[in-house]
Amino acid sequence: MNKILQGDAKAVLTTLDSKSVNCCVTSPPYYGLRDYGEDEQVGLEDTPEKYVERIVDIFREVKRVLKDDGTLWLNLGDSYNGNKKGNPETNKNPNVVNDSFEKKLWKGAKTKDLIGIPWMVAFALRADGWYLRQDIIWHKPNPMPESVKDRCTKSHEYIFLLSKSQKYYYDYEAILEPFTENSDMEYRKNLRLGKSYKSGDNNPYKKNTPLAGNRKMTELREGKNKRSVWKVPTKPYKEAHFATYPEKLIEPCILAGCPEGGVVLDPFSGAGTTSLVCKNLNRKYINIELNPEYVVLQKERLCQLSIFEVGLSEVK
């Protein structure tokens, strides 16, 4: 089942069987950020609306190939409105000819406005039928430096959890957090006593209730439910794709969203980080990547780590 497929994300997705993958973990190219030197690339659309429309169109196919209980874990960063030069991948992609490209000024906002791309995409996906279940904050303790003096340095991005159906596969026990801080100890003590931080007759931890015998004991034994702010340092892969998310960031997505032995889809696989994590966690993967140079890099990473010998027959 492990596959690395080269080509346009939507075109390749149409070749996959319906309801054939358990979850999708991916990070599409951000709007107006950089040029990867490919004619069909996502991210250089004329307006944010066209970018969002294209993303929705692609993920409509993702929803088709997801099983009915499947989830989508979508990492997206934001952009500012302006016509400053963007970032090409000149040194890492021989297909890029120009040293820079001009970001077009969007007429829907003022210069220097934060566009709000992640939420535009999230709301558009929700309108297209996805269940928007949660926004997760990726807190970066080592953010990229910014030469700005009229706002804070940006140190976070979003991961959106979306589902195909109202009920979906989600293994919360696989990503429980350990009790560490004093506040956690107080929380654990209240669980042991059958108490909750909220008072009243609807106390979910009230003694002699089914919930008290299930959730309370699980949390006492293993830890607390994972919180929605994930502190994960950035960790670029120097040999490859500039925008490589760290393995630790997507491990919880795969653990919670895909059962062991299941299949994870990444339609914008870049340097292949999703497939590396899948192999480590005993999950299968399907990678889709437009740039053939990055397909080669994915194979090299897998071989270098001695995780899986990717044969040429797997690249279609």
Q: What pLDDT, in 10s, does the model give residues 9-37?
A: 999 999 999 999 999 999 998 887 666 66
Show Cβ contacts of residue 92 under 8 Å, excluding neighbours closer than 6 positions.
240, 241, 242
- The answer on pLDDT for 115 being more than 80 is yes
What's the pLDDT at 39?
A: 63
Q: Dump the DSSP string for 65-79.
A: HEEEEEEEEEEE---
Cα within 13 Å of Cα(25), Cβ side: 28
Give the C-alpha separation, 15 to 250, whole Å: 26
The residues with which 266 forms a beta bridge, in sequence order, are 287
Interval 165-181: pLDDT, tens: 999 999 999 999 988 76
Q: Which domains does the chain have, with CATH numbers?
A: 3-175+227-314 (3.40.50.150), 182-222 (no CATH)
Q: What is the mean pLDDT of residues 134-158?
A: 93
pLDDT tens per residue, range 276-302: 999 999 999 999 999 888 898 888 888
Per-residue confidence at 207, pLDDT binned at 50, 70, 90? very low
pLDDT at 183: 57
